Amino acid sequence: MEKLYSRKEAASILGISIATLDTARTIGAISFVQYVPNGCVYFTNDALQEYIAKCTHRALPLEKQETYRKAR
């Protein structure tokens, strides 16, 4: 069976607060396991990796300017 992480453990792994994790769970950005309605919430390693992949964005290359002045 896969290891399940509590809210506190998952938040520390992701480097976010518990409130941010709860918001992501509420809007459906991260999947979770809840055995009993209104019970404890757990997260799998796959769910955490999937959330990291969703929140990772590629950096855009800097546009090269011909002069040091900004366009008006």
Of 7-11, 41-45, 64-68, the one with minimum mean pLDDT is: 64-68
Question: Does the pLDDT value for residue 70 go beyond 80?
Answer: no
Q: Provide the whole-model pTM.
A: 0.75
**Helices (H), ranges, the chain:** 7-14, 18-27, 45-55
> For the stretch 1-13, what's the b/e string if a residue is b when 16 or more beta carbons lie within 10 angstroms of its beta carbon?
eeebbebeebbee
Q: Where are the domains of the chain?
A: 4-55
4-55 CATH fold: Multidrug-efflux Transporter Regulator; Chain: A; Domain 2 (1.10.1660)
